[in-house]
Amino acid sequence: MFEAAELGRKVDKDTFAAAEADLRRSLLEVQRRARENQLPIIILIAGVAGAGKGQVINRLLEWLDSRGVRVHAYWDETDEELQRPHWWRYWRTMPSAGSIGVMLGAWYSPSLFGRKDKSDNEQILAARADRIVNTERMLVQEGVLILKFWCHLPEKEQAKRVKQRKKDPESHWRMAPETIHYANHYKRFIHNASRLISETDTEDAPWYLIEATDHRYRDLTIGLTLLNAIGARLDAPPVSSVLKTSHAPVLPETPSARINVLDRVDLNQTLSHKLYSRQIDYWQVEVNRLSWEAFRKRRPCVVVFEGWDAAGKGGAIRRLSESIDARLYSVIPVIAPNDEERVHHYLWRFWRHVPRDGYCTIFDRSWYGRVLVERIEKFAQLAEWARAYHEINDFEAQLAEHGIVVTKFWLHIDKDEQLRRFHSREQIPYKQHKITPDDWRNREHWDAYRTAVNEMVVRTSTDHAPWEIIPANDKHLARIKVLSVFAKRLEAALDS
């Protein structure tokens, strides 16, 4: 593939100067329009050592209005990064709507230095390429423009530069210390690169292969490509969010086809107060012990609480959290996004709270809002929530791959019990704040929620992050189930 970038293309000084003034003006203009249109842009710069990636970045900072640009290099990982799923560091630095993130290497770098002779290198490359393709598609579908540039040098040219720079003390400074090491493994590097590029060169997020031997040709080509790509995107109609197929399966009109996972929950179970007192003590001690063990073994946990309004999420969360030392957990209440959150991908605000190794994050409501309230209230369009199942599964798979123990609870009550609790909340002064007009409105959508919950469970209950549907008409029973399910999952994970 790289032959096309070894053709000896050049731009002379005068041609460059003539083109540059125009290009700068136009780039600033599309940047302004992109900001107005709240378009987030990722400019990813990768390529062989010595091809001048740093120079390209300096050029972009010169040409663009640098106040709207942030440059990110991914290097020298901190323990906060190492103790979280690999993609966490990229999510931290995603550009917000209307701004430009220039990313050096980003999610491509870790794959470029794999060793060809290692037997599992090819499988690792393939798995990483898959994840990249999925994630880039997801970003593009949410409206991000991704531009990926590969700056190429032929092997001989690279060797020449390394040699030259070693000799010349004045230009040696532009070369980072490890450049030379990488240059010594050109063939391995190019093998990995060509495979990775071909597998990730998609319609959504294409690669631009740039011949980098001549720096003027390199910069001008990148500048013009940027200009065209941003301009084309701004002129094109917004990313289509029309889904061609009707999403929900058409169910035959028979009673048995209408059975929902929630119908199988036995809501008549109860637990006496006496048994409850005994069991809560037991399970809280267990959870405490296990959470310290998880800390020692550096295993993190994520716990998700979803459920009907008034199903008792708050009480269950408190019984769980009070069992854990306050230093080991955070509870994240998921309310309306703030504006920093609103200008990012909807999963961004959850990535922010992924726990470090050994710690626990409890989400009081979660990313499932996308396929529940946002679906039903039509805050998200059909295409958006329909693809969210897959996005969520991928997100949770990344958590699990890193060793995070993921537990998801749906607290289930029936419609009569909800009504009783609404009325009772209205009676108790310190519970009145818990009942709002929203709750009554949600109640009117009961059947729509039932369908949405069923689909959610069907599509996102996985081995590594199963849904636990908790019968919650009896609060005591529900709390014991939550504690015991969590304790057992954590224990199994710690023993494995």
Residue numbers of the site for a second copy (CB under 8 A)?
21-22, 24-25, 27-28, 32, 53-54, 57-58, 61-63, 65-68, 70-71, 73, 75-76, 78-80, 104, 169-170, 173-174, 176-177, 281, 284-285, 288-289, 292, 314, 317-318, 321-322, 325-327, 330-331, 333, 335, 338-340, 356, 364, 428-430, 433
d(CA 400, CA 406): 7
Q: Which is nearer to a second copy, 227 or 386 (CB)?
A: 227
Q: Quick one: how far is CA 353 from the chain centroid?
A: 11
- C-alpha closest to that of 229 among 427, 34, 429: 34
- C-alpha closest to that of 311 among 410, 217, 200, 390: 410
d(CA 365, CA 377): 16
Q: From residue 343, how far is each of 6, 143, 198 by CA, in Å?
A: 40, 11, 31
Q: Quick one: how far is CA 347 from the chain centroid?
A: 5
Report the nearest approach of a second copy to the CB of residue 103 (Å).
11
Q: Which is nearer to a second copy, 66 or 270 (CB)?
A: 66
Q: Which is nearer to a second copy, 70 or 86 (CB)?
A: 70
Phi-psi sector, 403: left (phi>0), alpha (psi -120 to 50), beta: left
Report the nearest approach of a second copy to the CB of residue 352 (Å).
11
Q: Which is nearer to a second copy, 177 or 237 (CB)?
A: 177
Angle at 33 between CA 30 and CA 38, to 5 degrees: 125
Q: Which is nearer to a second copy, 434 or 445 (CB)?
A: 434
Report the nearest approach of a second copy to the CB of residue 307 (Å).
15
Q: Which is nearer to a second copy, 22 or 438 (CB)?
A: 22
Q: Within a 10 A sphere around the Cβ of 296, how many other Cβ atoms?
A: 9
- C-alpha closest to that of 179 among 204, 191, 162, 202: 162
Give me the torsion for CA of 121, 124, 126, 127, rounded to 10°: 180
Report the nearest approach of a second copy to the CB of residue 254 (Å).
42
Q: From residue 359, how far is each of 37, 320, 404, 435 by CA, in Å?
A: 39, 14, 9, 32
d(CA 68, CA 32): 9
102, β-bridge pairs: 43, 71
Q: How many CA atoms lie within 13 A of 97 on its CB side?
A: 14
Report the nearest approach of a second copy to the CB of residue 86 (Å).
17
Do the beta carbons of residue 483 and residue 283 sit within 8 Å? yes
Report the nearest approach of a second copy to the CB of residue 112 (Å).
16
Q: Which is nearer to a second copy, 365 or 390 (CB)?
A: 365
In the DSSP assignment, the letter for residue 75 is: -
Q: Which is nearer to a second copy, 261 or 317 (CB)?
A: 317
Report the nearest approach of a second copy to the CB of residue 66 (Å).
7
Q: Within a 10 A sphere around the Cβ of 232, how many other Cβ atoms?
A: 11
Q: Which is nearer to a second copy, 104 or 262 (CB)?
A: 104
In the DSSP assignment, the letter for residue 104 is: E
Three-class SS state of 44: strand
Report the nearest approach of a second copy to the CB of residue 328 (Å).
8
Do the beta carbons of residue 468 and residue 412 sit within 8 Å? no
Report the nearest approach of a second copy to the CB of residue 244 (Å).
37
Q: Which is nearer to a second copy, 203 or 339 (CB)?
A: 339
